[in-house]
Copies of this chain bind each other. A is one copy, B any other.
Amino acid sequence: MEIEKSKKILIVGLGLLGGSYAQVFTEKGYEVYAITRKQSTIDYALEHGMIKAGTTEIDTEMIAKADIAVFALYPHIFVDWIDANGKYFKKGAIITDVTGVKCAIVDEIQSRLPEGVEFIGAHPMAGREVYGIENSNPAMFKGANYIVTPTAKNTEYAIETCKAIGEMLGFANVSVISPQKHDRMIAFLSQLTHCIAVALMTCNDDANLCCYTGDSFRDLTRIARINEDMWSELFMLNKDMLISEIKAFEGELEKLRRSMETDDVETMKKMMRLSTERRGMFDKKLS
């Protein structure tokens, strides 16, 4: 489906992702409004033609006008925001987000919204190790995955609207899965990888390493430059799944280490062949 051009869009939290969403909605001809923390962000967005208007205050009229609202905030700030201001949304408004965990927030948000205002979770699997509207760029959505995470409470209309947003943003692949499945996937694909990158950086304090490194280490630690407030919150909100994924990974790494300790080259090669075979599926399709 296509979202009607008359729909008014509200972005709450105008950073790397929020800013990129704003650019696309504006380019496609929608009226885009923004509520964010800093006036300098609003100024930047206005100067670059990303939004029609924006404010750092809780503008109840702006909230009431929104047909679709996208939240790009830290999880706990998102919940608090809805708690305080969810009541200002009009009946029929659809609210979505970019939050990296789902089980911990979906019920919280849905239960705080007034009758007729619907929250449908989404997770754009795109990001960068930099932050802020100055770094926003819809090009990062190209070839990437977008995940919609409905619950039994969601209408078909909201699910279709949310999928349409992902397609409009330029994602190559839009999937619909449960919040539970999302959180297990993300524990493995995103949170575990961030844990690995951090542990790689903290386990060796040789200051000269950068003179000897190759691309493999640079690639594995690109995400080691990490926002500790955001990621510690995401980890703690999904900690059971994440701990279980870390343990599974620890088991495989130990298996590989033991193959060296016991000169079991065949097990080592077998793991490498499986790894090579599976990795082929993960290339980004940029065509």
Interface residues of A (CB under 8 A from B): 125-127, 144-145, 147, 173, 175, 177, 182, 185-186, 188-190, 192-204, 206-207, 209-229, 231-232, 235-236, 239, 242-243, 245-257, 260-261, 263, 265, 268-269, 271-276, 278-284
Contact = CB atoms under 8 A, between A and B. Distances in A.
A46 B14 CA distance: 56
Contact of A260 (B202, B235, B250): B235
28 contacts: A127-B214, A145-B211, A175-B211, A182-B212, A189-B214, A190-B214, A190-B216, A190-B217, A193-B217, A193-B220, A196-B220, A199-B249, A199-B255, A202-B278, A204-B245, A207-B281, A210-B282, A216-B223, A217-B282, A221-B279, A222-B279, A224-B278, A224-B279, A227-B272, A231-B272, A232-B272, A249-B253, A250-B250
Contact of A145 (B192, B213, B225, B263): B213
A192 B260 CA distance: 12
A282 B203 contact: no
A216 B224 CA distance: 10
A265 B232 contact: yes
Total copies of the chain: 2
A198 B127 contact: no
Given A260-B239, A274-B201, A229 B269 contact: yes
Given A222-B279, A226-B272, A228-B269, 15 more contacts: A126-B215, A145-B211, A193-B217, A195-B256, A196-B196, A197-B220, A199-B252, A227-B272, A228-B276, A232-B265, A235-B268, A246-B257, A247-B257, A249-B253, A250-B253
A204 B186 CA distance: 12
A193 B175 contact: no
A177 B209 CA distance: 12
B243 A210 contact: no
Chain A at the B interface: SS class: helix
Contact of A222 (B173, B192, B219): B219
A108 to B, nearest CB: 19
A195 B253 contact: yes
A175 B212 contact: yes
Nearest to A260: B239
A218 B275 contact: no
Given A236-B263, A281-B210, A189 B217 contact: yes
B199 A256 contact: yes
Given A211-B145, A225-B276, A236-B260, A249 B200 contact: yes
Nearest to A204: B188
